[in-house]
Structure 1
């Protein structure tokens, strides 16, 4: 799985600043992102973040943000295991 792009991090941050961990609907999210991103970019970023687990779909058009710290922790575990194995093989 790839790391997040700057655009996706900024979109997550904007949504977090507006909604926190409360439930929001897709229209509200698009309104928040409208001054900065096109509808197509916003939808694709939200869809990708839903796929990787940063945004949870609660109901039809309703979403909730996941905890970013937990996401980074889960992403870094595999990376750190791989780094430790590679470093051990080199030494």
Structure 2
């Protein structure tokens, strides 16, 4: 898994500020992001967020943003576990 790009961090920040932990519709998210990003970019980033677990699907076209701390815990744990494995292999 790769780290988020600047664009993705900004979209995450905007979605979390607007919706918090509440559910939102895909159309609402795209409309909210439309002044800043094209529909294609917003849709692709939302799909990527769902694929990586940043967004949780709660229903048909309904999503919820997970808290930043939960995401960072998951990503950093996987990263540190991989680093520890590589470090042991090198010695």
TM-score, length-normalised on structure 1?
0.89
- For 1:83, the equivalent position in structure 2 comes to 83
Which residue matches 1:29?
A: 29
Counterpart in 2 of 1:46?
46
Aligned partners of 1:26, 1:68: CA distance in 2, in Å?
20
Q: Which residue number in structure 2 is paired with residue 59 of structure 1?
A: 59
Q: Distance in 1 between matches of 2:35 and 2:6?
A: 17
Alignment of 1:19 with 2:37, yes or no, is no
What 5-or-longer segments of structure 1 have no aligned partner?
A: none
Over aligned residue pairs, what C-alpha RMSD do you find?
1.4
Per-residue deviation, 1:90: 5.3
TM-score, normalised to structure 2, is: 0.89
Q: Distance in 2 between matches of 1:86 and 1:64?
A: 35
Residue 3 of structure 2: SS of its match in structure 1? Answer: coil
